[in-house]
Structure 1
Amino acid sequence: MSKAHIKNPLRLLPLLASIVAISPLAIDMYLPAMPTIAKEFSTTPTAVQNSLSIYMAGYALGMLFFGPIADRIGRRRVVIIGLLGFAVFSVALAFSKSIEGFLTLRFFQAAISSGATVVVPGVIRDMYGKHTAKGLSYVSMIMMIAPMIAPTIGSFILHFTGWRSIFLVLAVYAMLILALVLWKLPSSMPKKKNRQWLREFANNYKSVFTNKTVRLDIFTSMFATFAFFCYLTSISYLYITHFGASEKSFSILFAINVIGLFVSNIVNSRIVERFGSRKLLRFGSVYALFTGTIFFTVLQLDLGLYATAASIFLLLGSLAFITTNSDALVLNTFAEKSGTATAVIGTLRFGSGALAGPLLALLFDDTPSNFAWLVLGSVVLVLLMQILNVQKQTNGECR
């Protein structure tokens, strides 16, 4: 599939964003119901919270499988499998009878849903070519509606029906998107099929991992995303428990944080054609160290709720520059293996995200210092990856 094969490619962006939104909806919609789920299953809140890390682990492993499969059998087929499987496991979750069954089903729900989302960056790459970062920014802007409204939707459903209905709503959402995919998403098949598919599978991963420049960009994206997952894991404790914000104030501040991501993607989409993804990635890396240091200082000095919220607004904006442009650079390097490349990015991202909760718990000392230190360490590593990248390119030019 190429841009030439798509009429009015901008019309596909809302559909692509709706596919990607599956994950934030599945993660955020049931958050208000966690205490209720724990009570019904007669278990601890921590056991239910572990479902978040289990979801991320399942999503990461699923991408490893579905990425190369999409490169082999075509993206449209994998999207259909992912959406249909997500709907089936969502219904099963609505009828789960124990915490063990609930956690197991969450793993498989995440794993199969990755088939739907892993193909989206490759489709965008086909549509935008060297300006892939612009398309990724557009999709991110549309998709960000999901995390803004998901907790509110979950609370609404919980109030009028119960937590099980949340997963039934997710199933309905997946089937609606599936109908649109069958109607609107063009089919895409690889140019040639290798009968030795296991060797092709391994060679695709080898080609991605052995490219040193791409490897540094992938690690850059991973460390930036790890900082973001630290934010997702810690933000309710930080705002509500530490600073004593009300649930209403939390929702407002959370939405403002998402707006920070939204604004950065708008800016990135407007200037990426002029400056290029590489320059913007390096800018984002330096900017992230600056905003991460401000955030660290604000928390360590305990300057209050609103100063903290302002520093997080800036921090999330800098992370958006990093992930969007690093992904675009990787996808443009592996245009014919975009499924595999996306799988590598996604696996490392969500794998690191699965580690965020345990690391935060390990370092917890009844203060948000664990959050501050992990974020600062992440942005330092982001900048280090790009410094190594610059040195590698400089040495290559010298030779």
Structure 2
Amino acid sequence: MSKKNPVWAHGLPAALLLMAPFDLLASLAMDIYLPVVPAMPERLGTSPTVIQLTLSLYMILLGAGQMVFGPLSDRIGRRPVLLGGAALFAAASLALAAAGSGPVFLFLRVAQAAGAAAALVATFATVRDVYAERPEGAVIYSLFGSMLAFVPALGPVAGALIAERFGWRAIFVTLALLTLPALINATLRWHETRPTPVTRHRASMKPILRSPSFWAYTLAFSAAMGSFFVFFSTAPRVLIDRAGYSELGFSLAFATVAVVMIATTRFAKHFVTRWGVAGSAARGIVLLLAAAILLAGGQMSEAPSFATFILPMWVAAIGMVFTVSVAANGALAEFGDRAGTAVALYFCIESLFVGIAGTLAVMGFGGDTAWPLVGYMAAMALIVLSALGLVRRQSPAMRS
């Protein structure tokens, strides 16, 4: 039987200070760069296709790269993967600031994504190692999800301000400078948490992919994160183009959804303690379904407005937090001896699912209405509730 290393003795605030920067930087590297994308072909003397690849490949590598670094963290440990990934991310960010051609820039973006993927998978594997059976795990997961809600809203604004004052290269210098203190803190305080001993055969993916619980909770996580992705993709066109909001007005309305998520996070520990993993996930998914119904009613009854589009998303935001707070624990609970591999699969499947299904929803239903949100949230809610019901029937222990 494997045992956890006893050296992780950080309180919750210290643990968040260690972990949160790597979760945030992985997303920020995508969003902070968006304002300068249209000008990059001319500045680097390359084609728009190459610049588009710097976005697409970053997203793909961020998810798929975890399939490499997850099993690696099970073999050599969380700490070396975390430190190596963070160092690669910082070095690639600095090199991007000095890049002078499209191909070099593209290569360095791939390297930056690889570093982000390594740091991300090591972070979440550590959360699984330390907090799998503790209420603090729900707080960490929900805080991560809520903090990331602000990144798509604030990242492009920050990137535009930095580029306007200091030039586009300063964006990547900023990413490197933000990474360095996090890397130094981790070097000094991030101790190894991988369960020991770990043998090579334990890294097999087959038991993970055969687990109904893994699939049910991974789909639940996909439902929550995909709902926010579709909301982010449709909100500008719905509120600015159709409802007539100014850019500032849109930003403030959009931010209220993130504020609701942050506020809900404060209660994460209490509702998980009371309802458990399965109960919290089910309630979160039901709230997504309720939000879809409210959005559909608003879409059919009147023009889009704060009341018909944003207020239903407050309901969805609460459901997202309930779901995200427990989805990882539910999906990874059976895999303490291969947490890195399980985390990698968890995020890779979620990234691919959200990217494909979310994009199809926006393209299929039209990105200037609430219907993509209605379709995605309703369909995913019904699928996840069915999957959770199946897991509950197959696992008597979950009935409690």
**Secondary structure at 2:368 match in 1:** coil
Q: Identify the residue that residue 351 of structure 2 maps to in structure 1.
A: 350
The CA distance in 2 between the partners of 1:225 and 1:343, in whole Å, is 16
1:348 maps to a residue whose letter is I
**Secondary structure at 1:118 match in 2:** helix
Matched-pair contact (CA < 8 Å) for 2:145–2:321: no
2:345 maps to a residue whose letter is V
1:182-219 per-position Cα deviation (integer Å, ceiling 9, x unaligned): 1121123541353xx4x543x2x112112222222222
1:61-97 per-position Cα deviation (integer Å, ceiling 9, x unaligned): 1111111111111111000111111122223333444
Q: Identify the residue that residue 309 of structure 1 maps to in structure 2.
A: 310
Q: Identify the residue that residue 261 of structure 2 maps to in structure 1.
A: 261
Q: Identify the residue that residue 175 of structure 2 maps to in structure 1.
A: 170
When normalised by structure 2's length, the TM-score is: 0.86
Consecutive unaligned residues in structure 1, runs of 5 or more: none
2:287 maps to a residue whose letter is Y
Matched-pair contact (CA < 8 Å) for 1:19–1:117: yes
Q: 1:365 to 1:14 in 2, by over 3 A?
A: same
User: What's the offset of the Cα at 1:115?
Assistant: 0.8
Matched-pair contact (CA < 8 Å) for 1:217–1:326: yes
When normalised by structure 1's length, the TM-score is: 0.86
User: What's the offset of the Cα at 1:242?
Assistant: 3.3
User: What's the offset of the Cα at 1:346?
Assistant: 0.5
The CA distance in 1 between the partners of 2:377 and 2:48, in whole Å, is 25
**Secondary structure at 2:65 match in 1:** helix
Matched-pair contact (CA < 8 Å) for 1:91–1:167: yes
User: What's the offset of the Cα at 1:394?
Assistant: 6.3
The CA distance in 2 between the partners of 1:105 and 1:296, in whole Å, is 43
Q: Identify the residue that residue 162 of structure 2 maps to in structure 1.
A: 157
Q: Identify the residue that residue 120 of structure 2 maps to in structure 1.
A: 117
Of 185-194 and 16-25, the range deviating more from structure 2: 185-194
Q: 1:316 to 1:141 in 2, by over 3 A?
A: closer
TM-align CA RMSD: 3.0
Q: Identify the residue that residue 55 of structure 1 maps to in structure 2.
A: 58
The CA distance in 2 between the partners of 1:89 and 1:264, in whole Å, is 36
Of 223-232 and 54-63, the range deviating more from structure 2: 223-232
The CA distance in 1 between the partners of 2:397 and 2:15, in whole Å, is 41
**Secondary structure at 1:34 match in 2:** helix
Q: Identify the residue that residue 9 of structure 2 maps to in structure 1.
A: 7
Q: Identify the residue that residue 23 of structure 1 maps to in structure 2.
A: 26
Q: 1:164 to 1:330 in 2, by over 3 A?
A: same
2:7 maps to a residue whose letter is H
Q: Identify the residue that residue 239 of structure 1 maps to in structure 2.
A: 239
Q: Identify the residue that residue 340 of structure 2 maps to in structure 1.
A: 339
Query: Is 1:186 paired with 2:191?
Result: yes
Of the three residues 53, 73, 85, the one matched with 2:76 is 73
User: What's the offset of the Cα at 1:261?
Assistant: 1.8
The CA distance in 2 between the partners of 1:302 and 1:93, in whole Å, is 47
2:249 maps to a residue whose letter is S
User: What's the offset of the Cα at 1:365?
Assistant: 4.3
Q: Identify the residue that residue 281 of structure 2 maps to in structure 1.
A: 281
The CA distance in 2 between the partners of 1:378 and 1:108, in whole Å, is 33
**Secondary structure at 2:266 match in 1:** helix
The CA distance in 2 between the partners of 1:366 and 1:128, in whole Å, is 39
**Secondary structure at 2:191 match in 1:** coil
User: What's the offset of the Cα at 1:347?
Assistant: 0.3
The CA distance in 2 between the partners of 1:64 and 1:268, in whole Å, is 29
Q: Identify the residue that residue 223 of structure 1 maps to in structure 2.
A: 223
Matched-pair contact (CA < 8 Å) for 2:61–2:114: yes
**Secondary structure at 1:25 match in 2:** helix
Q: 1:297 to 1:219 in 2, by over 3 A?
A: same
Matched-pair contact (CA < 8 Å) for 1:55–1:106: yes
Query: Is 1:93 paired with 2:66?
Result: no
The CA distance in 2 between the partners of 1:285 and 1:220, in whole Å, is 7
2:355 maps to a residue whose letter is A
Q: 1:299 to 1:103 in 2, by over 3 A?
A: farther
The CA distance in 2 between the partners of 1:249 and 1:33, in whole Å, is 22
The CA distance in 1 between the partners of 2:235 and 2:106, in whole Å, is 23
1:320 maps to a residue whose letter is V
**Secondary structure at 2:333 match in 1:** helix
Consecutive unaligned residues in structure 2, runs of 5 or more: none
Q: Identify the residue that residue 377 of structure 1 maps to in structure 2.
A: 379
**Secondary structure at 1:119 match in 2:** helix
2:27 maps to a residue whose letter is P
User: What's the offset of the Cα at 1:133?
Assistant: 2.0
Q: 1:233 to 1:49 in 2, by over 3 A?
A: farther
Q: 1:262 to 1:207 in 2, by over 3 A?
A: same
The CA distance in 2 between the partners of 1:112 and 1:223, in whole Å, is 26
